[in-house]
């Protein structure tokens, strides 16, 4: 059979070039703009394709004059928490769903899936209320059971438990982490494993927990790494919720800090070159991570045991 591979190659090449150009153009513009000084930018009258020589100077200002370096650390911690919590919960939940059959499995699975359909952006106000006082359900429970009334009689004063997680790493990370998309990926992977594996482990005397740690975890390493990376970057780029949950600049992640950089003085033209330098600074870590882990990610999302 003779195929016109040349024609296919050529078409593929053209499509690839268009795609690369589409993705790279904004990045190139960001780089170019970041190389201008504020004065050069203002006199040029907006974003263009001019090359300047102030790139290093802008970067230096980002590091020394803004809060971005500290906020970069916040981003790292929050993203690690988001990815870690997501992977840990999805892994254990999927383990239970796949290896332990129960009549209620489909209900549990549906509920798990439902979290995907309720993104955080939709629930920001409720989530804020809960994070502002995580003891709220406890108070409510005490109220319902009458224990609150009882303690009021004994102590003489009404007591409300209060524990706010606003402005904390965990308070920012937890709500972002509560979605179960990875369950799909892990489920497919677990189902591709030999069915007799858990049975063999049971015969060897391993408890379900041991099976999970000794057998399942090492086997799932590739999909785990891939999804971890995925959620790390997902946590890194979160904007709305961290903006709401972290009011002080010290607790804000870099993406929020970057946005704050834009509107410091309302009557001045924003320092776009500095902003662009900041954007490049903030995206540096995810880009490096993707570059390094590229192969792992592709292999892990391939959903097969290798």
Partner 1 sequence: MADNAIALNDVRKAYGDTLVIPGLTAEIGGGQFTVILGPSGCGKSTLLNMIAGLERVTSGTIRFGSREVQELAPKDRGCAMVFQNYALYPHMTIRNNIGYALKVARVPKEERRKRVETAAESVGLRGLLDRRPSELSGGQRQRAAVARAIVREPSVLLFDEPLSNLDAKLRHGMRMELARLHDRIGATSVFVTHDQVEAMTLADKVMLLNNGEIVQYAAPSELYENPATTFVATFIGAPAMNLLGADGEGAGIRLQDGTLLTTTPFRGPVTLGIRPENIEIVPDGIPCRIVYSESLGSHSVIVAALADGQELRIATQLGRRMTPGETFSVRFMKGAIRLFDPASGKRH
Q: Interface residues with partner 1 (CB under 8 A)?
A: 194-197, 199-206, 210, 214-215, 218-219, 305
Q: How far is the CB of 202 from partner 1 (least distance, A)?
A: 5
Q: How far is the CB of 198 from partner 1 (least distance, A)?
A: 9
Q: Which is nearer to partner 1, 22 or 104 (CB)?
A: 104
Q: How far is the CB of 184 from partner 1 (least distance, A)?
A: 23
The Cα 47–Cα 210 span in angstroms is 58
Q: Which is nearer to partner 1, 47 or 197 (CB)?
A: 197
Q: Could you give the C-alpha distances from 257 to 170, 193, 210, 299, in angstroms and in order?
A: 18, 44, 43, 34
Q: How far is the CB of 25 from partner 1 (least distance, A)?
A: 44
Q: Which is nearer to partner 1, 146 or 194 (CB)?
A: 194
Q: How far is the CB of 109 from partner 1 (least distance, A)?
A: 20
Q: Which is nearer to partner 1, 101 or 265 (CB)?
A: 101
The Cα 294–Cα 249 span in angstroms is 33
Q: Which is nearer to partner 1, 9 or 305 (CB)?
A: 305
Q: How far is the CB of 193 from partner 1 (least distance, A)?
A: 9
Rg, the chain, Cα only: 25
Q: How far is the CB of 223 from partner 1 (least distance, A)?
A: 14
Query: Are 116 and 181 in contact, with CB atoms under 8 Å apart?
Result: yes
Q: Which is nearer to partner 1, 156 or 205 (CB)?
A: 205
Q: Which is nearer to partner 1, 11 or 192 (CB)?
A: 192
């Amino acid at each position: 059979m003779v195929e016109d591979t040349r024609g296919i190659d050529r078409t593929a090449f053209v499509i690839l070039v268009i795609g690369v150009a589409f993705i790279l153009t904004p990045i190139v513009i960001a780089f170019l703009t970041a190389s201008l000084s504020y004065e050069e930018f203002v006199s040029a009258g907006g974003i263009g394709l001019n090359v300047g020589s102030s790139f290093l100077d802008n970067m230096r200002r980002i590091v020394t004059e803004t809060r971005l370096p500290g906020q970069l650390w916040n981003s790292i911690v929050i993203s690690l928490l988001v990815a870690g919590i997501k992977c840990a919960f999805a892994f254990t939940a999927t383990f239970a769903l796949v290896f332990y059959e129960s009549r209620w499995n489909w209900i549990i699975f549906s509920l798990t899936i439902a979290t995907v359909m309720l993104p955080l952006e939709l629930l920001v106000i409720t989530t804020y209320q809960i994070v502002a006082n995580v003891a709220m359900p406890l108070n409510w429970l005490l109220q319902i059971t009458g224990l609150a009334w009882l303690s009021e009689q004994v102590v003489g004063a009404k007591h409300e438990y209060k524990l706010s997680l606003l402005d904390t790493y965990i308070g920012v990370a937890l709500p972002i982490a509560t979605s179960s998309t990875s369950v799909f990926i892990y489920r497919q992977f677990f189902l591709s494993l030999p069915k007799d594996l858990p049975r063999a482990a049971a015969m060897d005397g391993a408890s379900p927990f041991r099976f999970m740690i000794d057998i399942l975890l090492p086997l799932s390493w590739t999909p785990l790494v891939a999804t971890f990376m995925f959620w790390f970057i997902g946590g890194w780029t979160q904007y709305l919720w961290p903006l709401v949950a972290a009011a002080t600049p010290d607790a804000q992640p870099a993406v929020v800090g970057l946005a704050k950089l834009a509107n410091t003085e309302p009557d001045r033209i924003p320092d776009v070159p500095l902003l662009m330098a900041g954007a490049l600074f903030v995206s540096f870590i995810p880009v490096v991570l993707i570059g390094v882990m590229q192969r792992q990610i592709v292999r892990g999302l391939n959903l097969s045991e290798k």
